[in-house]
Amino acid sequence: MLCLLVWVGSGCAGSSHPSTIVCGMCEEPGRFVRLQTHTKPSSSEDHEGFSHPLRLSPESWEPLLTSIRVRPVINFLMKGDEEAAFTREEIAYLGSTLSRAFAKASSEQWVVFGLSHPVPSSGSKMTTGAWYVEGPTLHLLLPNFQAAVRMENLRQVLNRDPLFEVLDATRYEFLPTEYAHEGSGKQSLPSFIRDETPHLVIEYQHFLAGGRGVKERQERVGVAAK
């Protein structure tokens, strides 16, 4: 019935697992960061869980978030201009809340999030996804980036299920960097995650150990994103 209500422009690709509120500041009007239990598919019995909890300060999260850039995929031959995945305000919010959430996450939980911006006369735009850590790598799943949400029931679905994918939205891809690349394979992920869901893998330990060179590159990225 839920899928019938939101079938126009959307796919029934979400998780039915409830989310856990992490903190008061993690739940704000138009944005949230929560913990959600991850269901291990039967095809990945060797998956022993995520490398959680993870303890990173907001100051460590900021350059990681700043480094993430995306670009729209218009068709298989044409791609749009690159842009920052998160605004400065979103980076400040996510840096603080992701730090809190990952510190409380168990090996069976990943961190889901949603960011919403009102659009005059046409609803809102939403960016939703999930984060998790495996060993030395940080993973970001981004099924929706600035997806137009015109129906209230769809907005409610995305608030409850951040991995529910809006199918008629513009598709995006991550730009690779020295420390990040597109993820391949979904062996350790739930079956509802589509193969084409944008998946970024960041070697966060190497990134944070990169020293002055990384910091200078992130400052240049930040200036370009203004």
Over the stretch 152-196, which tens digit does the pLDDT of each residue have?
899 999 999 999 999 888 999 999 999 999 986 554 555 556 667
pLDDT value at 63 more than 70: yes
> Is it true that the peptide bond before 29 is cis, omega within 30 degrees of 0?
no
Chain segment 88-118, per-residue pLDDT in tens: 999 999 999 999 999 999 999 999 999 999 9
Name the residue among 107, 106, 124 with its Cα closest to residue 115.
124
3-state class of 18 per DSSP? Answer: coil
> Is it true that the peptide bond before 198 is cis, omega within 30 degrees of 0?
no
The mean per-residue pLDDT over the stretch 134-153 comes to 94
What is the DSSP annotation of 30-61? TEEEEEEEPPPPTT-TT-----------HHHH
- What is the number of other CB atoms lying within 10 angstroms of the CB of residue 180? 22
Percent of the chain with pLDDT over 70: 77
pLDDT value at 32 more than 80: yes
- What is the number of other CB atoms lying within 10 angstroms of the CB of residue 100? 16
Contact indicator for 198, 186 with CB cutoff of 8 Å: no
How much is the pTM?
Answer: 0.83
